[in-house]
Amino acid sequence: MQNNPAKKAIVIGAGVAGLAAAIRLQVMGYSVTVFEKNAYPGGKLSDFELNGYRFDAGPSLFTRPQLIEELFAFAGEPIEAYFSYERVPVACNYFYEDGTVIHAYADHEKFAAELQAKTNEPAENLHRYLNQSEKAYQNIATVFLEYSLHKMQTIVKAPIFKAVRTLRWPYLFQSLNQYNQRAFKSAKLVQLFNRYATYNGSNPYKAPAMLSLIPHLEHNEGTFYPKGGMISITNALYQLALKKGVVFQFDSKVQKIIHAQNTVKGVVVNEQNIMADIVVSNMDIYFTYNQLLGNPIKAAKVLKQERSSSAFIFYWGINKSFPQLDLHNIFFSEQYEQEFQSLFKTGKPFEDPTVYINITSKREPSVQAPEGKENWFVMVNAPANKGQDWHAIQAFYKQAILKKISRLLGEDIEPLIEVEDMLSPVTIEAKTASYMGSLYGTSSNSKGAAFMRHPNFSNTTKGLYFVGGSVHPGGGIPLCLSSAAIAANLVGTPTKAAH
């Protein structure tokens, strides 16, 4: 009989942050069980196949692979046995209504030459912008991404003074759009770098210029492609978790978090009480409070912050190959500011949406799609779900998208669609428990948004922690991985078992 059994930890949800948190806690000495309401791991980072076309269902951009490498190193496992990736030579192709096409080369000199040729933007403006973006990221973002902003004992460990020295007034008192207008002469470049606000579901005309550090990830560190598509990230983390001994219970929806005397006690699953010393919720923080903790007052406080945008996604199997397209492609709206007004003010679909197309068959032909054909992941930013008629909006968006890309590619796209599926804010909420279908929880449409995100721990319930895109430090794969690391550090190494 074991005299000192491991302390028990329960993770609610097998999204990227939940998987990473489970791995870290298991390695730290906890006995970890993950409960997932779906039949598969990954949350938004899942995939499916239609008649030979394979589609990543959710996130399509891969940056900061070192975070996954660090997780494998932490677990003491060779990443090569689980996961491989490559840097892509072109971060994105940008299409404008006047026919201009900009290739955002990974090589800075090539990118600068491209911009000078296509927009007459002086090369030094790009170099200055990206150098400042790198400096801001290295000195400021690390504080947000590696430390809890809500516990003094962790903040004192952070390089605060270095961050403060780097902090510039425009980061806080200018919008991203205002900052970019001062950085570039070309309106096309302003629009190109404004789009990085959408990386956390925000409005570049309201979000702070601090978001100008995001381009560092894509243009300085690089954009990458994981072999096998984005689902390979989920598969690698899941297999690593299994290797370390994490137990998974799929088709198992957590009904309630049990707590008493200001301490977490476990969860209720299938009407059964399952006790634990630690509970980590990878569920949207709103639903965690409203459904699992039965605390509508705290849930309502979460909603005081503006929700992030959502997305409408079409998955199209295209019976043709388009050489002018690459892995990532953006077809810009000609009325960019009005598009964000629709997203965040009126909540209505915009007639000229910016369209993003991801095509993984560009990196793995014949693997991701049948020979000579392409798998298009076609996404537009959409307002959060407030009860709109999404069936009508689906038809509206499809026609707007087809009209736009057919015009800019010079070919009628609709007859080329062999298979189709779709994802709306309603189905995003249903499948991933993201309240209102918001992809990133709350937006960053205010100066203090980074400080107002919910912490990775409970102030009132000992042993309860939170990870994922709806809490600190935010949404997207890199930030979700960071949230798991922050939460695990807050939990700390177990000392003795309570059971």
Look at the domain 8-45+229-303+453-491 and name its fold.
FAD/NAD(P)-binding domain (3.50.50)
For 2-58, write each residue's pLDDT tens digit: 445 789 999 999 999 999 999 999 999 999 999 999 999 999 999 999 999 999 999
pLDDT given for residue 169 in this prediction: 54
Residue 499 pLDDT: 37
194 burial level (CB within 10 Å; 0-12, 13-18, 19+): buried
Cβ neighbours, 10 Å, residue 161: 8
Residue 254 bridge partners (DSSP): 269
Domain ranges in the chain are 8-45+229-303+453-491, 89-222, 306-432
Please tell me the distance from the alpha carbon of residue 77 to that of residue 246, in angstroms, as a whole number: 15
Q: What is the pLDDT along the chain (499 residues), one digit of tens a residue?
A: 344 578 999 999 999 999 999 999 999 999 999 999 999 999 999 999 999 999 999 999 999 999 999 999 999 999 999 999 999 999 999 999 999 999 999 999 999 999 999 999 999 999 999 999 998 888 776 666 666 655 555 555 554 545 545 555 566 679 999 999 999 999 999 999 999 999 888 899 998 888 899 999 999 999 999 999 999 999 999 999 999 999 999 999 999 999 999 999 999 999 999 999 999 999 999 999 999 999 999 988 888 777 778 889 999 999 999 999 999 999 999 999 999 999 888 888 899 999 999 999 999 999 999 999 999 999 999 888 888 999 999 999 999 999 999 999 999 999 999 999 999 999 988 888 787 878 777 666 665 555 567 899 999 999 999 999 999 888 889 999 999 999 999 998 776 444 3
Q: What is the pLDDT, as a whole number, of residue 141? A: 67
User: 163-199 pLDDT, tens per residue?
Assistant: 545 555 566 679 999 999 999 999 999 999 999 999 8
